[in-house]
C-alpha cells in the first residue's frame, strides 16, 4: 500500500509574512502522518521560516529546484546540500515551467535527481506532455522517455525513494484537468516503464502524483485510481483551506 502524497507547489507566490499566516491557518489541523505525506514546496526565502514553524508537525517542507553541484561559481543557484542544511526534506525537480523557461533538460533532471538523493532529499520529479504531443498520440512515449532518462543510473532503492509527478502541461493553471481515467492511464504507463527498467519492487513502491488544476472538487476521483498516489498542486495549495481539504481527502 503506497502512502498518498499531497504536495503544494507555491511557485513564485507568497512573502514571508504570507507564508507565516498560511502556517498559522493550518497549524492546528490534524494531519495523520501515517495516512498522508503533506508537503509544502515554497520559494527559497520562505524555507527557513516554514521549516522552523513545522517542527513537531507532520507537514514536510520542500524546495522547488536545486543545482546539481554541491557548491561552486553558479551565481544565483542553491545546492541540495544548502537545502539539507536548512532542514528541507523534499525538492521538486524538472517542473515543466523550469523546462520551458530555464532550459532544464532530461539530462539536468537526472543529475539533479541523483544529487538530491545523495543529500537524502526526496525528489519530486516532474514529467508531462504538451497539448501538441497529446493530440498526436505521443503522450505515453514522451512521458515514459522523460521518466527513463530522469531515472537513468538510479538503483532500485533510489527509485523507491523518489516521487514522480505527472503533469500534462496543457492542464497546468488552465482549469483544464485530465480526466481521472486519462491520468491513471499515463501513471500506469510510467509504472510500467519503471517495471521494465528497475524491477517490480521499485515499480510497485514508486509514488506517482497527478498535477494540473487539482482542486478539492476533483481530488477524490483522482485518489480512487489505482496508479495515482496523490497530487502536486499549484493554485489550490495557496489557500490554507483548500490545501487542508486536499489533505483531508486522502484520509477518508
- Binding site, annotated residues for substrate: 9-11, 173, 213, 234-235
From 4, 5, 6, 9, residue interacting with ligand G3H (rule: CB under 6 A): 9
Report the alpha-carbon distance of residue 110 to residue 146 in Å, rounded: 10
SS3 assignment for the chain: CCCCEEEEECCCCCCHHHHHHHHHHHCCCCCCCCCCEEEEECCHHHHHHHHHHCCCCCEEEEECCCECCCCCCCCCCCEHHHHHHHCCCEEEECCHHHHHHCCCCHHHHHHHHHHHHHCCCEEEEEECCCHHHHHCCCHHHHHHHHHHHHCCCCCHHHHHHCEEEECCHHHCCCCCCCCHHHHHHHHHHHHHHHHHHHCHHHHHHCEEEEECCCCCCCHHHHHCCCCCCEEEECHHHCCHHHHHHHHHHCCC
From 26, 159, 172, 178, residue interacting with ligand G3H (rule: CB under 6 A): 172
Residue 172 or 203: which CB sits closer to ligand G3H? 172
Number of residues that bind ligand G3H (CB under 6 A): 14
Residue 88 or 202: which CB sits closer to ligand G3H? 88
Write the Ramachandran bin of 53: left for phi over 0, alpha for psi from -120 to 50, otherwise beta.
alpha
**Which residues are catalytically annotated?**
95, 167
Residue 173 or 199: which CB sits closer to ligand G3H? 173
| Closest separation in Å from C-beta 214 to ligand G3H | 5
| Closest separation in Å from C-beta 200 to ligand G3H | 29
By CB under 6 A, residue 40 contacts ligand G3H: no
Residue range at the interface with ligand G3H (CB under 6 A); choices 52-60, 139-147, 192-200, 233-241: 233-241
| Closest separation in Å from C-beta 176 to ligand G3H | 9
Residue 195 or 238: which CB sits closer to ligand G3H? 238
Site string for ligand G3H, 47-86 (x = CB under 6 A): ----------------------------------------
Residues 189-218 close enough to bind ligand G3H by CB under 6 A: 211-214
What is the binding site for ligand G3H (CB under 6 A)?
9, 95, 167, 172-173, 211-214, 232-236
Amino acid at each position: 500500500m503506497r502512502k498518498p502524497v499531497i504536495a503544494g507547489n507555491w511557485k513564485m507566490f507568497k512573502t514571508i509574512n504570507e507564508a507565516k499566516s498560511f502556517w498559522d491557518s493550518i497549524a492546528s489541523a490534524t494531519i495523520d502522518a501515517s495516512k498522508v505525506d503533506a508537503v509544502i514546496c515554497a520559494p527559497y526565502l520562505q524555507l527557513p521560516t516554514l521549516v522552523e514553524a513545522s517542527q513537531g508537525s507532520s507537514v514536510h517542507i520542500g524546495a522547488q529546484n536545486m543545482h546539481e553541484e554541491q557548491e561552486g561559481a553558479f551565481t544565483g543557484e542553491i545546492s541540495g546540500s544548502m537545502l539539507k542544511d536548512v532542514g528541507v526534506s523534499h525538492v521538486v525537480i524538472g517542473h515543466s515551467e523550469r523546462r520551458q523557461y530555464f532550459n532544464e533538460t532530461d539530462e539536468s533532471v537526472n543529475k539533479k535527481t541523483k544529487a538530491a538523493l545523495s543529500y537524502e532529499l526526496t525528489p519530486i520529479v516532474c514529467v508531462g506532455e504538451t497539448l501538441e504531443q497529446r493530440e498526436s498520440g505521443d503522450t505515453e512515449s514522451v512521458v515514459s522517455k522523460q521518466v527513463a532518462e530522469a531515472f537513468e543510473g538510479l538503483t532500485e532503492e533510489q527509485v523507491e525513494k523518489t516521487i514522480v509527478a505527472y503533469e500534462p502541461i496543457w492542464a497546468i493553471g488552465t482549469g483544464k484537468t485530465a480526466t481521472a481515467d486519462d491520468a491513471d492511464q499515463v501513471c500506469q504507463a510510467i509504472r510500467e516503464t519503471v517495471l521494465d527498467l528497475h524491477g517490480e519492487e521499485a515499480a510497485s513502491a514508486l509514488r506517482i502524483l497527478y498535477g494540473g488544476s487539482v482542486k478539492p472538487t476533483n481530488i477524490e476521483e483522482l485518489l480512487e485510481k489505482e496508479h495515482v498516489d496523490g497530487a502536486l498542486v499549484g493554485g489550490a495549495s495557496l489557500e490554507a483551506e483548500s490545501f487542508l481539504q486536499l489533505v483531508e481527502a486522502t484520509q477518508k
